[in-house]
Each structure stands twice: as C-alpha cells, then as structure tokens.
Amino acid sequence: MVRLRFAPSPTGYLHIGGLRTALYNYLYAKQQGGKFVLRIEDTDRTRYVEGAIENLIHELKWAGLSIDEGVCLDNEKISEVGEKGPYIQSERVKKDIYNKYATELIEKGYAYYCFCSKERLDEIKNQQKADGKIPRYDGLCKGISLEDAKKRIENGESYVIRLKLPENRDIVFNDLIKGKITINTNDMDDQVLIKADGFPTYHFAVVVDDHLMNITHIVRGDEWISSTPKHLFLYEAFGWEKPTFVHLPTVLNKSGKKLSKRNDDASVEDFRLKGYLPKALINYLALVGWSPESNEEILSLDEMTAQFSFDRVSKSGGVFDVDKLDWVNAQYIRKMEVSELAKLVKPYLLEAGFIDENICPYRLELITKTFQESISRLPQIVEQSRFLFENVEIESEAVEMRNVAHIDILKETMIQELNKIDKIDEEVAKGFMKKIQKASGFKGKDLYMPIRALLTGQVHGPELSNILEILGKEEILNRLS
C-alpha cells in the first residue's frame, strides 16, 4: 500500500504552496488506494509559532483534505489517530526515538561526534565565503577516535553528531518529475544529525520518521532536491528500503518569483477570508503545475483524484494567477444552490448592516440569486447590492436619463400602477414591467433603461423584477419622489 505524508513545520500559517503540496500528496494517495498522513515537524523550536498546528489542521479540513492518519483536532485539542505515532516530532524526541539510530550510525562509521564551537564554525564559514567557496564543515572532528570522543563527552564537552559522507562519490536518484539527478558528495556537507540540545535536525528526523511510518513516496517542494542525496545516504547506511522521490515545481507569483508570505497574500487563511470557496481554491491550485489529460478546468476533488498523475506535473514553476482563480471561483458560485450560497453571503450582508439576523430566508435567497451571476468572491455581494440599501452615487449614464423626454411619463405611470397594489410579491414583480409598457406605450431600452436609472442610479444591472421585489412598494415610491 502506498503511504504519503504531508509534514509541515509549525512556523506560521499554512502557505498556499504548502496546501498544493498537501493536495498532490492527497490526490496520489487516494488514487492509489493508499493513506494520507499528516505529521508535524517541529524540531526547530526557535521558529515555532503558537497556534500554527491548529491553523494547519483547520485549513486542511476547510479545503476538504481529510487525513487517514496523523495529527488532528479533538474538541479543538491537538490529538492523533493512527498506530505509528507520535506524529509530532517533539513528542517523538521525548520517547527517545532518534538517539538509538544516531548511535547506530556512529558505530557503523557513518556518523561522528563533533566538538567544534559556534565561534569556530562561524569563522570557517566566513573565510570560505571570502574565498568564494561553498560554506561547509571542514571535517576537523572526523578523525577523532570513538574512544576519545566518548571521553570528551564524559568530561562534559558540548557536541553534535554529524553525518560522515564519503569523498567524491556521485549519489544518483530518479525523481518522478525532474528525472535523473546526480549530486557529488564533494558538493555536500557533513550535515548535523543531532544538535547540541539533543534534538534531531530535520534531515535526520525526516528519514527516521518516514522509514518508521512506512512512507513510500516523498512528495515535497523542489527546494529539497539538494538535500535528497543526504537522505538517500542515510537510507543506505541503515540498510532501509528507499522511498520514491517527487519534487514539485515552485508556486510563482505573476512576476515569476516564488510566492512569498512577505510580498504576497500567500496564506490559505488570506484566501479564505477574501471569500474564496474551498472547492474552487483546491480546483485552481491543482492546475498550478498540473494539467489533467481531459484538459478540463473545472474539476471536483473526486475527478481530480481519478485523473491525477505525476507525469503530467510540469518540471518548471507554475504561476499563481489571482485573476484566473477569481474566474474559477465565479464558476463555482454560479453552480451553487441559492440556499447554500445565501448562508455563505449572509455574514457579509450582516456586517454591512444591510440585513438583520432575522431576515426572512426567502428575502435573503432573493438578494443572493439577484447577484449570483455577478460576483466572483463572496464579499463582493456587499458592493454589488449596496444600491438597494443605501444612497449611492448616480452613474453618469443614469444622470443623462433625466433628459429623456418621456421619463416623467414613465415615472407617473409607475406611481399609478403602484397605487393599485398593496405590495410587490414575486408574481406582481414579474408582471409589473409589462403593465408599465402597456400603460405608457414605451418598450425595450426606452422603457427599461430610464426605469432602472430611476430605481437604482444605474442603467445596467440585475434582473429588474428581482430589484422591484427586493425594494418593495414603499421604497420604490420614495425613490421615484
């Protein structure tokens, strides 16, 4: 059985690129009948952000990506489901999972104790940079015997454990997207595996955890390509079966640069708060780097799962185009049941003060239906519908309608027809303009544009029968006067 994991670090809120990584892991796992695992990699405690784990779980759930195993929330408390936990690395540290594997590497000659101070390491790094070289550890402690190293540890010296890479060896692997990749060990560093505080580094913990959790495919961003040979060397050193590696192209902004938290609205929360639908965001995000064989653009999660394959993922970065996302979101909004959409737009109308909490469901759905075709994001209903609830600036084209010779005739005709009825319901609204046409003798643009201008301050807009019903008799009379 294939097993894939999404393993973010809780260093901030879920990034849109992280959501795409999670999505591709999810799609492949589900398509292959496998498991989608959520693991939290929090070994870097200096960058830990309070609440980040909860945010990650909430946003994945909002996006519709349900986990089969791993970290979850139970009554808003962090919990776990599955038999291969703990699924949070700091909890795995407490269970002393990593040290025995580090000791095994030392005994096999694949790792060594390093006693170099931070000051010495900084000095080496600065000198190498000045010489135009790639900063890397110079291997000073590699020659210390295991016996001497243990004595120094007994004497209380601070140490780290480093990977002992062979010199001038090509490490080759086949990536499902990038193809054959070769990196020489001379271009790599003797990576720290266990830090001075006893915590494993990412590079060590990720290999141990993936092995113990039986992860078969490592699907992650292509910024990790240069680290993959170190991970492969560790698999080899332990004699473990190597997983399949898949490195995804970067998500880029319109300028062709990596979508960043600093320069772009890049967190999933940003898009949720801006009124994007989760199904639409997931649909569009899947297409940023992947193209389905059917060439369809609107796909459900099940349809994406059925068509997904890594051989149709681009090798180069995919551009995240907000305008295209808006178009996709609009398609989903237009296909929604009005009753469902009404529930989603209600908070925005409430916040604007256009409605109250006890609004009649029929009226709320009528307002929603009126603007369903004209919004691409949920909050846009506020600006679209503002003319119904507030005095708004009259458009120049509508102002010109004052000069239409017969506008007073239309105005008086409307007043006469309104005085014949008690209220405007759906039936009255649908037949009202025909009565005005018959009574006034005007039709087409000569009828609709002046009346729309009188009622809304605009000459174009939603269905007039809906406008009439929403405004009601008294408000229409006020506007005509």
DSSP state of 84: S
Cβ contact 370:385 at 8 Å: yes
Q: For residue 180, how many other CB atoms are within 10 A of its CB? A: 8
Which among 255, 196, 210, 169 is positioned nearest to 84, based on CA atoms?
A: 210
Q: Is the peptide bond preceding residue 347 cis, with omega within 30 degrees of 0?
A: no
Query: Hey, which residues does 182 pair with through a beta bridge?
Result: 172
Can you tell me the distance from the alpha carbon of 274 to that of 258, in angstroms, rounded to the nearest whole number? 21
Can you tell me the distance from the alpha carbon of 364 to that of 361, in angstroms, rounded to the nearest whole number? 5
Here the tokens at position 105 are 């590497």
Query: Hey, which residues does 251 pair with through a beta bridge?
Result: 318
Catalytic residue (one of 261, 411, 430, 435): 261
The position carrying tokens 């506020």 is: 382
According to DSSP, the β-strands at 170-175 and 179-184 are antiparallel
Got the DSSP string for 278-298? HHHHHHHHHHSSB--TT--S-
Cβ contact 305:27 at 8 Å: yes
Which among 435, 436, 461 is positioned nearest to 447, based on CA atoms?
A: 436
In order of 72, 171, 232, 311, 433, the CA distances from 181 in angstroms are 36, 8, 12, 16, 70
Whole-number CA gyration radius for the chain:
32
* Sequence-ordered list of residues with C-beta below 8 angstroms from that of 65, at least 6 positions apart, any chain: 22, 23, 26, 36, 282
For CA atoms 146, 149, 153, 155, the dihedral sign is positive
Can you tell me the distance from the alpha carbon of 208 to that of 219, in angstroms, rounded to the nearest whole number? 16
The position carrying tokens 């409605």 is: 355
Here the tokens at position 93 are 């540290």
- Angle subtended at Cα 353 by Cα 351 and Cα 359, rounded to the nearest 5 degrees: 95
Cβ contact 454:415 at 8 Å: no
Catalytic, 261? Answer yes
Query: In this structure, what are the phi and psi dihedrals at residue 374, rounded to the nearest 5 degrees?
Result: -110, 0
Can you tell me the distance from the alpha carbon of 172 to that of 183, in angstroms, rounded to the nearest whole number? 7
* Sequence-ordered list of residues with C-beta below 8 angstroms from that of 57, at least 6 positions apart, any chain: 38, 71, 72, 73, 78
Residues identified as active-site: 261
